Structure 1
Amino acid sequence: MASIKSNTAIAFFVDGLEVKTAKLSSKKGSIVLDELESLTLASRLDEGRGVEGTTLEPQQEQASEGFGMGGGELQTDLPGVDNNSVFLGVLSKYPVGKYVVSYAISEPSIYYHTFETDFGLQGKKLRKRISDELSAVRSESPSNDAIDHFYSSDNNLICLIREDGLSIIDILEEIKPYTGKRLPRIPLVDSSDIALLNLARANFGFAPEEITAIIYIGNEYTRIIFLKGSDFLHFAPVIGEGFDSTNIQNITLNRLMLELDNLALPRVDRILLAGECKKIQFDDFIKDHFAEIDIQFLSAPYLDVSQLSAEVQERVSEFAVPIATAWKALDSKHPAFYQTNLLPETIRDQQRSFKLGWHGYLLLAMVFLLTLFFTYRFGVVKNEIAREENTMRRLQLQLAEVDRLKGIIGGIDDEIGRFRIAMNVYDSLVPGYDRWTKTIETMANGVEDIRSLWFTDVGSMPDGGIEVSGYALYRARIPRISTLFDNTTLRQVIIEPIREDAPQVYKFNFTAPPPPPPMKDTTKFLPDTTTVQK
């Protein structure tokens, strides 16, 4: 069944010129039977619809028999009324988009075919196989969406095939401008015989071997259906006469007895009556021949019928087909209902929010996966950005500290520059300031070159010379050290032990005269007298 959810369902069943309607709703977990109505069509659906030039009015009156709304019988032939206006009169009473529409069809719009096996197939493969099998015995091969099936009590495959039955959909298409400019949602097109089976199975209990006959007498045809336990057993051939036939009671009784003989059934345990049986007191007639059999009208005790008057509640069996069809539209998963649906695939597709092929589902999965990936990547990148922002803030603080230190260093560099200038001025004013620096440097270089000696004392003499004392491991190296300075006088060389267990060393002492005073450069204190020739 098409996946369409609604709390209100309207169902139609056309029998000749009569269309029976039922409105059911789902309220607080229970199914409520709100309204029943019988309407008279302007013409048969298979004879063409409507009178040319007819203008539809949404609130136009119908030729109808209304129940549940307190209306009485109304059987008039209104000029200018066509089939479109009849259906529009029903739908225009309810808010647009708040209901779903379903309907049931009967033979010859459908036919049945029985197979002893389901070929080990299911779903679309089984429908394709059924279509192939039927094409071998019929002139035309039915489309897959015109085929459905269920199983009988002996596990035979019962196929129902729709050959026509789309006139109501055509009418709904034509009245779209008056119903919200769109086709009402249609979840179900079912068989009237399946509807009778569903209503009986949902409201009555059956013993496993009990044989039940459902007798439906309509306006133009009569149908007998047999059940074994709660499962379908057999469809009797349709009787092409309705309740207004003068001999319909005897014809129906004879057909019932004939089918019992053909099925080799010794008895029938229960008879359920539906349709127009009550109008012709068929229950009294059949009781005369089956006095000990449970005979009752097909009712719906599990539906809430409190919205209907007591008189209308007694006529529920007349509307068994549309009631069961609307109930199935509201509760398609009911365990007592056969899961059959002959709704064309094109209508199903139109009512879907969107249709996806395998590539669409692949793209949908990719969108989902990409959404997860980009969501994950967004979190990762967001964390990375947060870390980088923290790093940048630390670096900015460090940069500010570096700028502060650069300012301090700049100040120190300026001070060093000032000291250098002062030292240059001092050097130019005090000659010989670096005497001891040069003396110590000369002595250090001499020790490094000559080796095996060391100095112990360096001092200045009254005349400005220097006196140097030290030790040498080798006597031959003492003259070499005295040549470090100009005009050196070696005053003393003696042998002197340092430690008891150490070899003897040579202690020396020499003096050097003061260095000559440097030439004072006075040119840098003279004014610049350079002239430039013009």
Structure 2
Amino acid sequence: MKRRKREKDKFRGKLAVGMYLDGDQIQVVCLRKKGKRIKLVDAAILSPHKEVQPQPVEEILDEEGGLPVLEDHPELNFNPAELGATDLNFGDSGDQTNELPVLLLSALNRYPKKKYHICLTLPEPNIYYAYFHTDWDLKGKKLKQKVIEELGKERPNAKNLKPDAIQLFKLADGRLMAIVRDNDLPLYTLFETIKSNYVHRAPRIRFTETAELSLVNLINAHYDFEIEEVTAVIHIGIDSSRLLFMQGNEIFHISYIIASGLQSENIATTVQSRLMLEYDNLQLKNLKRVILTGEAFESGIYDLLREKLPEEISVEYARFDKFDTFGIDPLLSRFAIAGGAALRALDSPKKNQQYQADLTPTDILDGQKSIKLGFIGWLLLALLPVLTLFFFYKIHDQQEQFKTIDGKLQLYKQDLYHLKEIEKKLAEEQNQLNEYNQSLGVLDSILVDVNRWSNFNLKLARLVERIGKMWITEIAPHKNDELMIRGYSIYRNRIPRLTHQLKHADLLKVEVQEIRQKKVYFFEIKYQMPREQNR
């Protein structure tokens, strides 16, 4: 009875469940927040292997109800027999089944309904990183589209990426880091498998981030580094390991994934060699601390690093002070990634030291949305039949009005057509009237000095006839009383005769041309019209 009450009390408050898929195992961490206090209330590793025997580690409560304070490494002894039994299942799940969905469903059904969210962490190769030395002076959606375009040049499948599959961050050295979610998402598939079998309503996925971001957020919640201080974070998993560097509280460099984990005999040596290689390549002069997470305690890497690294470089297991636990950091380090994801959901970030990323597909987020009906909502739902009849009547009435208006509109269109025809005829008549006015103006202009022009035309005609073998094609006004006379002559020597006999004339141009395959001479004469004396 007392144990049931404890089981119920420990889940009171705001809960966040962090989950991390490590190989074929799932790490589950449940944190509870009451007021400003965050406490680790449940942790387990779900493994489908039958041959792995469960190792329950019961909580040894002191008089104040706290966890035992253990000595620091290397005197730590995490033998289950010595630690006793607790709700924190630091070994593998005790369910005798090889079905991972069954194990996950059993673990999640322990938590109260509607009181917790799921925080997922994806490892590589479900995600991958890409780096760029510029942001092209773009932001938001335009920057994501540019990154997708650049990724498509190296990865053909990247051209089909959606914006929700990419998260962008600026690194400490100014580079742009893109975190890209792959389409293969086993955790989401697992959730869909067990969704219909929940005892309570299926929990919502709060966010999805990467293992590296979960680690960085966990560390930033427990450490305040100097701006120039460099920290190496090592995580040893079951099938793979990872190494990242931080400058201050920001990500400086994420190394390529190490394809070896706890199952590898030489994992400690492999990780230590990678650390030294990155140490030399990155020229890390300010490396002050190495933080160990994951299965670091089981791998024995602590002793190896303490032997290989200078004394001024601190080697330690990740802290978990925020989880309200003390003295068992090496044991909790295997839950660092899942715990970091759950902590982000409950903890308030310090001075923008929390990396906020969400790689959850939009269709999954939309599928989790639900509608909550208050009093007004239920009232509207009850009135729905009445409202349906009312709006049906109003729609019918509007349709009748629409038909009436449409009939009038057709009549107006016919009237408009006739008016446009009348407007067209008026335009034609106006054009004809304008032509008449133009002709009248020409007639008015040529009435002046009629005799003068007649005499000139008569004189020019007689001269052309007398000289012969030439003809005039154009007489055009030039300046003031000047005229331009243009024409053709069969013989060249007759053009000067015409110029001479006209008087007040200047020969401007003579050109040889062909008309009907015969050579003729084109000429251009400028003539000054003399004014007649008034009689």
Q: TM-score, with normalisation over the residues of structure 2?
A: 0.57
Deviations 1:81-116 (A, max 9, x none): 411101101111112222111211111111000112
The within-5 A match list for 1:261-340 is 261-266=280-285, 268-290=287-309, 291-305=311-325, 311=328, 314-331=330-347, 335-340=352-357
2:259 aligned counterpart, secondary structure? coil
1:516-531 → structure 2 map (5 Å cutoff): none
Q: Which residue of 2 aligns with 1:207?
A: 226
Distance 1:261 1:71 in 2: 40
Aligned with residue 15 of structure 2, among 8, 17, 36: 8
Which residue among 135, 141, 157 is the counterpart of 2:152?
135
Equivalent position of 1:453 in the other structure: none
1:96 aligns with 2:116: no
2: CA distance, partners of 1:64 / 1:90: 16
Distance 1:209 1:75, change over 3 A: closer
Among 119, 131, 139, the residue aligned to 1:114: 131
Alignment partners' CA distance in 2, 1:351 and 1:337: 25
Change over 3 Å in CA distance of 1:42–1:147 after alignment to 2: farther
Maintained 8 Å contact 1:110/1:161: yes
**Superposition deviation, residue 265 in structure 1:** 2.3
User: In structure 2, do the counterparts of structure 1 residues 133 and 28 end up closer, same or farther at CA, with 3 Å as the change threshold?
Assistant: same
CA distance in 2, matches of 1:73, 1:260: 33
Give the direction of change, closer, same or farther, for the CA distance of 1:129–1:300 in structure 2 (3 Å limit): same
1:167 corresponds in structure 2 to 186
Aligned match of 2:27:
20
The alignment covers a number of residue pairs equal to 328
2:252 paired residue among 228, 233, 243: 233
Give the structure 2 partner of residue 350 of structure 1.
367
Contact kept, 8 Å, 1:34 with 1:305, in 2: the verdict is no
Corresponding residue number in structure 2 for 1:471? none
Q: How does 1:39-438 map to 2 (within 5 A)?
A: 39-41=46-48, 69-70=86-87, 81-140=98-157, 141=159, 142-164=161-183, 166-180=185-199, 182-266=201-285, 268-290=287-309, 291-305=311-325, 311=328, 314-331=330-347, 335-353=352-370
Distance 2:252 2:92 in 1: 39
* Separation in structure 1 between the aligned mates of residue 162 and residue 151 of structure 2, nearest angstrom: 11
Distance 1:132 1:316, change over 3 A: same
Q: 2:25·2:46 contact (CA, 8 Å) conserved in 1?
A: yes
What is the percent sequence identity of the aligned residues? 31
Quickly say closer, same or farther: Cα 1:64–1:97, change in 2 above 3 A. Answer: farther
CA distance in structure 2 between the aligned counterparts of 1:227 and 1:76, rounded to whole angstroms: 34
Q: Secondary structure at the residue paired with 1:136?
A: helix
Separation in 2, partners of 1:99, 1:178 = 17
Please list the CA deviations of residues 197-247 of structure 1 after superposition, one character each: whole Å capped at 9, or x if unmatched: 111122112111111100111111111101112111111121111123121
Query: Alignment RMSD, CA only?
Result: 2.6
Q: Secondary structure at the match of 1:251?
A: helix
- What amino acid sits opposite 1:160 in the alignment? I
> Which residue of the partner structure matches residue 497 of structure 1?
none
- Aligned partners of 1:183 and 1:123: how far apart in 2? 32
1:287 positional shift: 0.5
Which ranges in structure 1 are unaligned for 5 or more consecutive residues? 1-5, 44-61, 356-534
Matching residue's letter, 2:325: V
Give CA-to-partner distance per residue, 1:21-74, whole Å, 9 cap, x none.
10012111222221211121359xxxxxxxxxxxxxxxxxx9675676436676
Give distance in 2, aligned partners of 1:160 and 1:208.
Answer: 24
- TM-score, L = length of structure 1: 0.57
CA distance in 1, matches of 2:206, 2:118: 7
1:496 aligned partner: none
Cα contact 1:37–1:66 (8 A) shared by 2: no
Q: Distance in 1 between the 2:268 and 2:91 partners?
A: 27
Cα distance change of structure 1 residues 270 and 37 upon mapping to structure 2, 3 Å threshold? same
Letter in 1 for 2:202: L
* Compared CA separation, residues 344 and 331, structure 1 to 2 (3 A): farther
Distance (Å, rounded) in 1 between the aligned partners of 2:138 and 2:56: 46
Taking structure 1 as reference, are residues 344 and 200 closer, same or farther at Cα in structure 2, changes over 3 Å only? same
Aligned-partner Cα distance in 1 for 2:97–2:285: 54
Partners in 1 of 2:197 and 2:253 — Cα distance?
43
SS in structure 1 of the partner of residue 323 of structure 2: coil
Task: Report what 2:468 is aligned to.
Answer: none
Aligned partners of 1:124 and 1:144 also within 8 Å: yes
CA distance in 1, matches of 2:226, 2:353: 15
1:326 alignment partner AA: A
Cα separation, 1, equivalents of 2:100 and 2:331: 25
Could you say what secondary structure the match of 1:188 adopts? strand
Structure number, greater radius of gyration:
1
Q: Tell me, what secondary structure is at the counterpart of 2:287?
A: coil
Query: What amino acid is aligned across from residue 13 of structure 1 in structure 2?
Result: Y
Cα distance in 2, alignment partners of residues 277 and 80 from structure 1: 28
Matched-pair contact (CA < 8 Å) for 2:267–2:299: no
TM superposition shift of 1:126: 2.2
